[in-house]
Amino acid sequence: MPNATLESGDDPKYALLFGSVVALGLPSNAASLWILVRRHSLQSPCVIFMVNLAISDLMLVATLCTRVYFYATGVWSLGNMACVWITMLFRNNIRSSSIFITFISVDRLLAVVYPLRFRHLRTASNACRAAALVWLFVVAVNVEEGLEFSAFLIKLNESACFDFRERPPRMSAITYFQPALVLTMLAVNVASTALVSLTLRTRSRSQARIKNKVNVMLIFAMNLAMFAVFFLPVSMEVFFGEESWNKFHKSLVCLASVNCCLDPLLYYFSFDGFWKRKEEMDACTTRG
């Protein structure tokens, strides 16, 4: 299929925005992943979920390089299959990140509210199994989704990606999977935040525990902010009309991609023990 230059594709503003995300997200997530694997033993469920979150973000950053090229030149020369894979990886980041962030919230909930009752569930082996199921789950969803999107690209018959002459069709029930997933994960985070907040309020307010409580609640507040700002808006665009979708789609995708830059700051560096070895302080298992 011949290359084509799209008038709407040549957009230096978005090339700069996505380029900034790559410049910030690549080194920060790579450094976070290295620190988590090198300086923390993978025996904590929280660390395992963070490692998978960093991997998800790094995969997203890798795909954003193609968006930078496309919006800088207006030319897409990689073909339809590459467009399908890149689009699916972006959607997988929203889904896998929302699930892993929710797992972190639930792990904190169990550590704070039920420190002994569910201790047997908070194991590295269970966390690895859960992470593997998440990846299998999001990839399985891509099968039908990818086939539908590929058929749309063939029907469209233009060598382009990200900017199309018409909106991709709503793909049966799978179209509403992402908003349903994000809303469900958001509800779990809200419930977890409420339960942890209530539990911390009923505990003794000794001066030695004030900082610990603030750090715990900060993690939950940041989780909710990630959903409200980055995951929810782009997931709800399936309900937009044609005009609204054309107007806001690129901005929402750009906004959603920023989550990969903030994950290391919001979740990794918020722990006092992030820079310390596990023998000194296992930040994920002692927060409760």
Under 8 Å between Cβ of 97 and 263: yes
Q: What is the pLDDT of residue 55?
A: 94
**232 inside domain:** yes
Between residues 103 and 118, the one the model is more confident about? 103
pTM of the model: 0.85
Average pLDDT, whole number, for the chain?
Answer: 81
Q: Which two tokens stand for residue 114?
A: 């039920």
Task: Classify residue 233 by burial, with Cβ atoms within 10 Å: 0-12, 13-18, 19+.
Answer: middle
Structural domain boundaries, residue 30: 12-268
Closest to 169 in 3D by CA, of 87, 78, 242? 242
Range in 122-131, 163-172, 188-197 with the lowest mean pLDDT: 163-172
**Which residues, listed in sequence order, are joined to residue 272 by a DSSP beta bridge?**
none
Name the pLDDT band for 130 (thresholds 50, 70, 90). Answer: very high
Query: What phi and psi, each to the nearest 5 degrees, are found at residue 8?
Result: -80, -20
Residue 274 has pLDDT above 60, yes or no: no
Assign residue 162 the CATH number of its domain.
1.20.1070.10
b/e per residue, 152-179, with b = 16+ CB within 10 A?
bbeeeeebbbbbbeeeeeebeeeeebbb
Distance of CA 174 to the CA centre of its chain: 19
**53 inside domain:** yes
Tell me: the pLDDT tens digits for 45-79? 888 999 999 999 999 999 999 999 888 888 888 88
Task: Classify residue 28 by burial, with Cβ atoms within 10 Å: 0-12, 13-18, 19+.
Answer: buried
Alpha-carbon distance 282 to 167, whole Å? 48
Alpha-carbon distance 25 to 62, whole Å? 10
Between residues 130 and 7, the one the model is more confident about? 130
Q: What is the pLDDT of residue 270?
A: 53
Structural domain count, the chain:
1
Q: What is the pLDDT of residue 152?
A: 82
Tell me which H or E stretch contains 125: helix 124-156
**275 inside domain:** no
- In degrees to the nearest 10, what's the CA dihedral of 263, 266, 269, 270? -150
**287 inside domain:** no
**63 inside domain:** yes
Between residues 110 and 267, the one the model is more confident about? 110
Give residues with Cβ within 8 angstroms of 5, minimum separation 6: 73, 74, 75
Measure Cα distances from 153 to 1, 130, 146, 157, 237 in Å: 12, 34, 11, 6, 20
**200 inside domain:** yes
Measure Cα distances from 25 to 41, 62, 64, 261, 264 in Å: 24, 10, 10, 4, 9
Tell me: the pLDDT tens digits for 143-190? 888 888 888 888 876 667 887 766 776 666 777 888 999 999 999 999
**284 inside domain:** no
> In this structure, which amino acid lies at residue 216?
V
Q: Which two tokens stand for residue 14?
A: 């978005």
- N-terminal to C-terminal alpha carbon distance within the chain: 57
**283 inside domain:** no
